[in-house]
Amino acid sequence: MNKIAKYLNQHIIGNVFDSAPILEAYSTDNSPLKILPQMVVLPENTSDICKTVKFVNQLSNKSVHIPITVRGSGLDKTGADLGDGIIMSMEHMNKILEIDDRARLVRVQAGVTLGQLNSALALYGLTVPILANPRDTIGSLIANFTTDSAAGKYNGIYYYVDQLEAVLSTGEPMQTVRVSRPHMSHKTTLTSFEGEIYREMDRLIDENSGLISDLGNRSMIDATGYQMVTQVIRDVTKSFDLLPIFYGSQGTLGIITEVILRCEVFQPEVSHFVAAFESVGAAQDFIQDIMPLVPQELNLYDARLFKTAVEHGKDPALFAPKFYKGYFVWAGFDEPPRKAVKKMKKCLSLLPHNAAAVMETGENTNDFRRLKSAIRSYINDDVRGERVPIMDDFYVPSDKLANFLTDLRTLEETYEQELPVFGSFSTSNYSVRPDIQLNSVEGRQFVLKFIRDFDSLIREHGGSITGGAPEGRTKAVATNEHLSDDEINLYSEIKTIFDKNGIFNPDVKLGADEKVIVRHIRTSYLNKVLD
């Protein structure tokens, strides 16, 4: 064991590992990258994190640089939870610390998964209404600012976080709180690193008020950089809160350790409705008609997705084969059964004559489950290569979607493969999964070329490849090229204010480097099922 790992093991309750098999296990996520860390730290509490970060920062002051990358469940699609220094895995920071069912608040450690949290809250008749991967940790939902498929109705993770605790780059813990303008003087006079951050961020926002206002007024949804700086100061009250800056930060500003979340009353029943259309225009018209019914989720699927599923035996038998060449609309209603049935019957009444639809009943529930799980069959199909999620969570305005899909066919011809779209119409966030042969030189070249080509196509239609999640390493090769000098300076200064020595994920977001990415594109398939 190396000296640093041994030293840390002597000073923290958790464990530090540097054995080759363990390092290998933490060298991949869901991205096309593989980066072998020097060591893996599994902290048991916030004190462990503070001690580790403080030690690494002290080493950095002596010109010994060991970057720290925080990792949740290892599901990141952009390589943001990989690093060649310390991987700080939050898998043991998974305790639900307190549930206040009367106030509808819950306090958790950042490593608690969404599935764990909602299972516990259900016992109190509560939930955090986020339809993301249940294996996502609460910390990663914030750091990756995930736009889930229920965000059209429930506004997403941003709406439900009340406060968080984060360990800063000096090893000091900080609790976020919204501070009124008259009380800001207390924060800015603190002699701690936290006080310095408040002073510098207050100054930075004041000096860049015009740019920040412009960023906040953009119609394009984009999680590139530190765009949530636009929400630190509320216009009406002028109150100040550092919480928003952590959304989409991907572990580059601090390590989130605890979170207080607001909850909603749990709705145990969700009824589903699916309709098949021959064209995207007909599907869009229908979606616009049923949006006033406020479904929990409202998704759009290119029916070509399901051809592969049928080949793998996942035919849900809800529709005739002729419908597997158009578009499916999937709606979910999380209301009491009688009200949900009423809404689904309204959907049926709005259906055009050349479409087909099915309501979920007790008899066909398994067919609905098969339809939803059929997407996993497609994603993990390996006829040509691996369907790596290099272009998940992109944003296209709803009024530009039809034209985008038409132009996407041209890209399909260029790459000689189908690129069926799937995602949430209610949030305008979608994904495509190209086939990539990562074990070939051509396949690895494909990754960066496809990201740039897709980014150009998206921008032509007023969209963003980072609409539903930030850029990380992989998407940054395209997004960084479109940032203005003023934006780069603003985001760079934010990073410097929080992390002077650049110890937190320095190669992510603004620090992403194309040559480093090319060097770390893996050459073998992941040995797990992709979501």
Give domain status of residue 249, yes or no: yes
Q: Specify whether 181 is located in the same domain as 77.
A: no
Output the domain CATH number for residue 30.
3.30.43.10
Looking at 265, 296, 331, the residue that finishes a domain is 265
Q: Specify whether 285 is located in the same domain as 311.
A: yes
Q: Are 106 and 98 in contact (CB under 8 A)?
A: yes
Q: Specify whether 238 is located in the same domain as 168.
A: yes
Taking alpha carbons only, the member of 22, 45, 19, 57 closest to residue 504 is: 57
Q: What's the total number of domains in the chain?
A: 3
Looking at 33, 63, 92, the residue that finishes a domain is 92
- Compute the CA torsion angle 485, 487, 488, 491 (nearest 10 deg): 160
Instruction: Tell the residue number behind the tokens 């869901």, with chain if given.
Output: 30
Q: Specify whether 231 is located in the same domain as 100.
A: yes
Give domain status of residue 114, yes or no: yes
Give domain status of residue 495, yes or no: no
Q: Specify whether 210 is located in the same domain as 351.
A: no
Q: How many CB atoms lie within 10 A of CB 461?
A: 19
Give domain status of residue 355, yes or no: yes
Give domain status of residue 460, yes or no: no
Q: Are 391 and 465 in contact (CB under 8 A)?
A: yes
Output the domain CATH number for residue 146.
3.30.465.10
The whole-angstrom separation of Cα 275 and Cα 267 is 24
| Both tokens assigned to 462 | 């007023």
> Distance between terminal CA atoms of the chain?
35
The whole-angstrom separation of Cα 519 and Cα 151 is 36
Q: Which residues neighbour 508 within 8 Å (Cβ) at sequence distance 6 or greater?
A: 69, 78, 79, 80, 250, 251, 252, 472, 473, 476
pLDDT beneath 70: ranges in the chain: 219-220, 316, 320-323, 382-383
Q: Specify whether 289 is located in the same domain as 364.
A: yes
| Both tokens assigned to 107 | 């306090």
- Compute the CA torsion angle 495, 500, 506, 511 (nearest 10 deg): 50
Taking alpha carbons only, the member of 452, 472, 458 closest to residue 394 is: 458
Taking alpha carbons only, the member of 193, 164, 23 closest to residue 93 is: 164
Q: Specify whether 175 is located in the same domain as 29.
A: no
Average pLDDT, the chain: 93
Domain carrying residue 360 = 267-381
Give domain status of residue 313, yes or no: yes
Q: Are 356 and 276 in contact (CB under 8 A)?
A: yes
Give domain status of residue 255, yes or no: yes
Q: Specify whether 111 is located in the same domain as 29.
A: no
Output the domain CATH number for residue 374.
3.30.70.2190
Residues forming a β-bridge with 387: 435
pLDDT at 383: 65
Q: Is 258 helix (H, G, I), strand (E, B) or coil?
A: strand
Q: Specify whether 149 is located in the same domain as 247.
A: yes
Q: Is the dihedral of CA 271, 277, 279, 282 positive or negative?
A: negative
DSSP state of 77: S
Q: Specify whether 169 is located in the same domain as 25.
A: no
| Both tokens assigned to 506 | 């320095």
Looking at 332, 351, 381, the residue that finishes a domain is 381
Q: Specify whether 42 is located in the same domain as 171.
A: no
Q: Is 513 helix (H, G, I), strand (E, B) or coil?
A: coil
For 85-152, give the DSSP string: SEEEE-TT---EEEEETTTTEEEEETT-BHHHHHHHHHTTTEE----S-TTSBHHHHHHTT---TTHH
Q: Which amino acid is at 259?
A: V
Give domain status of residue 510, yes or no: no
Taking alpha carbons only, the member of 70, 146, 79 closest to residue 110 is: 70
- Provide the residue count of the chain: 531
Q: Specify whether 245 is located in the same domain as 351.
A: no
Q: Is 184 helix (H, G, I), strand (E, B) or coil?
A: helix
The whole-angstrom separation of Cα 150 and Cα 372 is 15
